[in-house]
Each structure stands twice: as C-alpha cells, then as structure tokens.
Amino acid sequence: MGLYDQQLAMQWVKENARFFGGDPNSITVMGQSAGAISIGFHLLSPSSAGLFKRAFMQSGSPLIGAFISTQEEAASRTDMLASYLECKEKDSHELSGAEVVTCLRSKDIGDILKALEYFDEAEFMGSFRFSAVTSRMES
C-alpha cells in the first residue's frame, strides 16, 4: 500500500472513529518491518500531522538509506521502464510526463512484470525492490 493510500486510510479512521466508539484525537498507528518504515515516513511527513497521536514501530526505520529514492532516481527508473514499454514517444514526438504516466497505467501487469525481469534488479531497483520517493518540500 502506498504512503498516500495509507494517509487516506488514516484520514478515514480519524473522521469515522467516533462511530465505532473510538476517540479521533487518540489514534495509535502501528507497523512491523515495512509497515514500521511506512509509519516512520508518516511521522516525518507534515501532511500526516494530526492524523494520529501515537506511533509504534517494530523492526523497521525509514532512516535506512536503502529505502529512500530521490526524485532523480525515481525519474531514471521510470524513464527506463517507459522506454521498454514503448511509453516514451508516439508518432516520433516525446511524450510529456503526464502522457508517460497515462501510458504506463494502461499497461497490463503482465507486461510490467515482464519488463522488470528484463532489467538488472540491483541497477533498476537498488538494494530493495520498493522504496519511497521523497517529495520536494516548498519553503
């Protein structure tokens, strides 16, 4: 589950806790292993502030460098995947970022998995297959 999906789930819990006898101002989130890493990212994210009061992280930390991709690294991987899946250009013109995303979303999961087998995993995905992409914060 992606971090934004988790955030939406936490927003739902906060908005609906009272209907289940819960206190929306006393929510505790918990994660183990990769879940703990997700919880850690939510602790660091200003957009998750106020969605929970306490957090319990077991056997994982978002501060392990292998779990973080820069936007440049994510863009490079997206570019490689888009090229392989023929989502980089159409009719001899380069597609915009939004068009690339639309094209990638239209692909069958089987095609995406086949494409991922084509790449050297360490080169394409880094040490770990899934990592969060850090968003730039506007000051």
Report yes or no: 52 and 27 within 8 Å, Cβ to Cβ. yes
Q: Write the DSSP string, 86-126.
A: T-SEETTEEPPHHHHHHHHHHS-HHHHHHHHHHS-HHHHHT
pLDDT of residue 80: 87
More confident: 42 or 97: 42
pLDDT of residue 116: 80
Q: What is the pLDDT of residues 96-139, one digit of tens each?
A: 889 998 999 999 988 988 888 877 665 555 544 455 555 554 44
Residues 56-80: tens digit of each pLDDT: 999 988 877 766 677 888 888 888 8
pTM for this structure? 0.55
